Amino acid sequence: MNIDQIVRLLGQKYGIPQWRPHADPLSELIQAILSQNTSDVNSSRAFQSLMATFSTWEMVAKASVDDIAEAIKSGGLNRIKAERIKSILEGILESRSSLDLEFLTELSIPEAKAWLKGLHGVGPKTAGCVLLFALGRPVLPVDTHVYRVSRRLGLINSKASPERAHELLEEIVPPQAIYQFHINILAHGRSICRARRPLCHDCALGEGCPSNGHS
């Protein structure tokens, strides 16, 4: 089963998500950091609380780690995330002199990704979220669902590391299909395809799911 068939089957099962602009790149970055290894209920509460506590990102940059950690407490991992958010905002202010990441649109995808990953606490998944959701670039954020389900479907070698999965999947998935692939793989991974093992018997991507018949 090739990538085009999988994209089509996912589309039949979950619909074709319509592209819509998300947040500005800096807000997307903060949201992505808060979502790291955290349920979306907890992380979105933390983001709302952060916005409600501080009126601007400049205020967050000047706040103490303790105060930021308190504001995002409901998200979990709050101490380490508060340190990362503060140091990232301070770093952007120092290097760019304003808290604005729109300049990333002028960079190539590899350049923009490298710049983001240079920030402490920003890995491939977080950088990918900023590039795809805020800037509309054809980059695939490989989170646990994308990683696990892609291996289950046989799209990539089950032994590939998460880092390697990023490279492999970006070669496989057509740029124009990345957004819907990401959205629908998450839908599939959150509902049906939840088991951690690489293959299973109940992963039903319609009749053609290659995971059918495995145990």
Binding-site ranges for DNA (CB under 7 A): 35-42, 45, 69, 73-81, 117, 120-127, 129, 133, 141, 143-145, 161, 163-164, 182, 186, 190
- Minimum CB separation of residue 207 from DNA in Å reads 27
5 vs 95, beta carbon nearer DNA: 95
Check: CB of residue 147 under 8 Å from CB of residue 161: no
CA 8 to chain centroid, in Å, comes to 22
Active site residue 62: no
- Minimum CB separation of residue 115 from DNA in Å reads 13
- Minimum CB separation of residue 152 from DNA in Å reads 14
- Minimum CB separation of residue 202 from DNA in Å reads 16
Please spell the DSSP secondary structure of 17-86, one letter per residue. PPP---S-HHHHHHHHHHTTTS-HHHHHHHHHHHHHH-SSHHHHHHS-HHHHHHHTGGGSSHHHHHHHHH
Query: Which of these is catalytic: 81, 86, 125, 159?
Result: 125
9 vs 127, beta carbon nearer DNA: 127
In the three-class reduction of DSSP (H, G, I as helix; E, B as strand; rest coil), residue 197 is classed as coil
41 vs 114, beta carbon nearer DNA: 41
Please spell the DSSP secondary structure of 98-131, one letter per residue. SS--GGGGGS-HHHHHHHHHTSTT--HHHHHHII
102 vs 163, beta carbon nearer DNA: 163
Q: Which residues are catalytic?
A: 125
